[in-house]
Amino acid sequence: SMTVLFISDLHLSPTHPEITQCFLRFLKEDAPKASALYVLGDLFESWIGDDDRTPLQIEVADAFKALSDTGVPIYFIHGNRDFLVGKRFARASGMTLLPEHKVIDLFGKPTLIMHGDTLCIQDEAYQRYRKKVHNPFIQWLFFRLPLSVRRRIGEKIRAGSTKSNQEKSEDIMDVDQSEVQRVMKESGVKQLIHGHTHRPDIHDIQLDTDPAQRIVLGDWYTQGSVLVCTEEGCALQTRAF
Ligand code: OKV
Ligand code: MN
């Protein structure tokens, strides 16, 4: 029977090869049986441009391409870390870039999919930073810098962010319930799937008078985390490293 897979928040980096190995195994063993794979952001811990052809970037693109060549469509929504993943990497991977919010037909259920960072509106410092780095002119300037300079800027920003996150409360880093309601109503859906918060769960919620669901994907810090959806419903699963 048909299966649709969702993953997010792998935060792949050269410093954690065990996560990459688990992911590559998932692409080889699980994903080929699926009818589609959705990657809902933060596949990579950092991304400074498709022209940064690191061994990790090449290995992941090749593995995606092998999967897409078997006929499994791969869809990608940017996360807050890999928002600069571009057309060149998408083409090399055989994947389709989706906009930040997308309504898909999931076994007849209109379902809103997104990364989830835009739901965390209480984190005003992050939303201000996000607006800057998503500005097309700022991105145009950033891409004009040599890779070595972009790499250094990335390291600086990451060091600063680790420090400021330690000062933020758990509450501020979770989604805002009223924003969840707002975006679901705006899209006219009763089902939302997102990542980002690293709090995997299936929440039964209420939208006005109707029952609805918010499904949160898990991160890959200590194990693989996959949402498996069939005609029967969706289930969160893990994969040991
Ligand atoms: C990604 C996050 C680092 C969070 C910088 C313009 C600037 C893009 C960039 C630099 C950083 C992505 C691209 C990275 C996400 C961090 C730290 C915290 C919370 C500019 C356009 F600065 F020059 F204007 N960046 N990198 N963070 O290292 O991948 O999401 S990154
Ligand atoms: Mn994220």
Which of 134, 158, 164, 167 has the most ligand 1 atoms within 8 A of CB, as the residue to mutate? 158
State the average pLDDT over residues 43-50. Answer: 98
Q: Of the residues 153, 172, 196, which should be mutated to test ligand 1's pocket, given the most ligand atoms within 8 Å of the CB? A: 153
Does 13 contact ligand 1 (Cβ within 6 A)?
no
Q: Is the CB of 125 under 6 A from ligand 1?
A: no
Distance CA 87, CA 79 (A): 15
Summarize pLDDT for 182-216 with one digit per residue, the tens. Answer: 999 999 999 999 999 999 999 999 999 999 999 99
Ligand of minimum distance to the alpha carbon of 131: 1
Q: How far apart are CA 111 and CA 108, in angstroms?
A: 9
Question: Which pLDDT score, from 0 to 100, does residue 173 have?
Answer: 83
Average of pLDDT values for 47-64?
98
Percent of the chain with pLDDT over 90: 93
* pLDDT digits 0-9 by tens, 92-146: 999 999 999 999 999 999 999 999 999 999 999 999 999 999 999 999 999 999 9
Q: What is the pLDDT of residue 168?
A: 79
Report the separation in Å between the CA atom of 79 and the middle of ligand 2, taken as the mean of its atom positions.
5
What predicted TM-score, i.e. pTM, was given to this entire model?
Answer: 0.97
Q: Is the CB of 158 under 6 A from ligand 1?
A: yes
Pocket perturbation via mutation, ligand 1, pick of 84, 85, 157, 166 by most ligand atoms within 8 A of CB: 157
The mean pLDDT of 84-89, rounded to a whole number, is 98
pLDDT in tens, 103-115: 999 999 999 999 9
2 within ligand 1 shell (Cβ under 6 A): no
Asked if pLDDT for residue 166 goes beyond 90, the answer is: no
d(CA 36, CA 2): 9
| Res 6 pLDDT > 80 | yes
Residue 219 has pLDDT above 80, yes or no: yes
Burial class (CB in 10 A: 0-12, 13-18, 19+), 13: middle
Report whether residue 195 contacts ligand 1, using a CB cutoff of 6 Å.
no
Starting at the edge strand found earlier in the chain, the sheet holding 36-39 runs 95-97, 74-76, 36-39, 4-7, 224-230, 233-239
Ligand 1 in reach of 153 Cβ (< 6 A): yes
